């Protein structure tokens, strides 16, 4: 599927980009040692000054698109459940997005009213939190997006809908994978990882890496010889170069 997505050979019926991206990326990660890619990737998840605690984590098992139910009140289908071995938080729920945001907006998000019953919340992350809470085991909820910066407003709206001071949601960007690959030579040499990096490039999901240096002046010089006076002259010219740059924002 990674090759098909990379070369644009998927049919219309298969074009659920978020599911395809999740399958491609974590399908590759699953084939690699957890300490080389999965754990360093998840370690980048954070929000409001807090980072996801992965101390002692050694490996993980994967469950894609599980259907989770809390009695008969609520059902959700996150993109991925990770069962971490040796970690203080054994269950990590991943809700992955590409160009869309979370589904569901409560009235409280619009500033009109509080949600009277948390089980009536339509906020996607809040509903997942409530179902996971019913499992009665430590868990973390990771909101994985293509943003360059944390979507603070989205996460705070979800936390407001949960109505629990102790609740926490972590944010992670797909773009963090590029830095992890660049920092591990062995990882960067793996053919599957090279295909994954090409996919991230095609989807324009490299992180911002700064602006390259450019000359501030254009300099030219010449030697001249006067036949009449038989002297050698030196001519130096410098002109200002006017660099230009802009930020482009893609929507939709």
Measured CA to CA, the distance from residue 29 to residue 244 in angstroms comes to: 39
Q: Encode pLDDT of 17-71 as tens digits.
A: 889 999 999 999 999 999 999 999 999 999 999 999 999 999 999 999 999 887 6
- Ranked by mean pLDDT, which of 121-135, 213-227, 236-250 comes out on top? 121-135
Q: pLDDT band at 96, cuts 50/70/90?
A: very high
Measured CA to CA, the distance from residue 91 to residue 54 in angstroms comes to: 11
Mean pLDDT of the chain: 81
For the cut 70, the answer to whether the pLDDT of residue 166 exceeds it is yes
Q: Encode pLDDT of 209-223 as tens digits.
A: 666 565 555 566 666
The three-state secondary structure class of 61 is strand
Query: In the prediction, which pLDDT does 105 show?
Result: 64
For the cut 80, the answer to whether the pLDDT of residue 250 exceeds it is no
Question: Which among 99, 89, 170, 91 is positioned nearest to 131, based on CA atoms?
Answer: 91
Q: Which residues contact 180 (CB under 8 A, 6 or more apart)?
A: 37, 40, 41, 44, 187
| Ramachandran assignment for 63, one of left (phi > 0), alpha (psi -120 to 50 degrees), beta (any other) | beta
For the cut 50, the answer to whether the pLDDT of residue 111 exceeds it is no
Q: Encode pLDDT of 137-146 as tens digits.
A: 899 999 999 9
Query: In the prediction, which pLDDT does 164 show?
Result: 86
* Mean pLDDT of the region 158-172: 91
Q: pLDDT band at 230, cuts 50/70/90?
A: low
pTM of model > 0.85: no
For the cut 50, the answer to whether the pLDDT of residue 73 exceeds it is yes
Question: Which among 125, 137, 110, 111 is positioned nearest to 164, based on CA atoms?
Answer: 125
Pairwise pLDDT comparison (136 vs 197), residue with the higher score: 197
Measured CA to CA, the distance from residue 140 to residue 156 in angstroms comes to: 16
Measured CA to CA, the distance from residue 157 to residue 103 in angstroms comes to: 12
For the cut 50, the answer to whether the pLDDT of residue 162 exceeds it is yes
């Amino acid at each position: 599927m990674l090759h098909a997505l990379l070369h644009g050979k998927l049919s219309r019926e298969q074009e659920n980009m978020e599911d395809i991206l999740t399958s491609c990326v974590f399908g590759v990660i699953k084939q690699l040692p957890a300490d080389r890619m999965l754990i360093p990737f998840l370690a980048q998840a954070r929000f409001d000054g807090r980072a996801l605690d992965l101390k002692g984590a050694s490996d993980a098992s994967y469950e894609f698109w599980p259907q989770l139910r809390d009695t008969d009140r609520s059902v959700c289908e996150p993109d991925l459940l990770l069962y971490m071995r040796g970690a203080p938080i054994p269950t990590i729920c991943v809700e992955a997005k590409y160009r869309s945001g979370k589904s569901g907006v409560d009235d409280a998000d619009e500033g009109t009213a509080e949600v009277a019953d948390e089980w009536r919340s339509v906020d996607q992350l809040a509903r997942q939190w409530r179902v996971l809470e019913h499992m009665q085991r430590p868990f973390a909820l990771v909101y994985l997006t293509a943003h360059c910066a944390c979507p603070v407003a989205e996460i705070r709206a979800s936390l407001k809908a949960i109505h629990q001071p102790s609740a926490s949601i972590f944010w992670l960007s797909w773009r963090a994978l590029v830095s992890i690959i660049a920092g591990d030579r062995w990882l960067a040499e793996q053919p599957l990882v090279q295909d994954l990096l090409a996919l991230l490039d095609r989807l324009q999901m490299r992180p911002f890496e700064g602006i390259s240096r450019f000359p501030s002046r254009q300099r030219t010089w010449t030697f001249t010889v006067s036949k009449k006076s038989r002297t050698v002259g030196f001519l130096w010219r410098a002109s200002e170069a006017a660099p230009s740059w802009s930020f482009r924002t893609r929507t939709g």
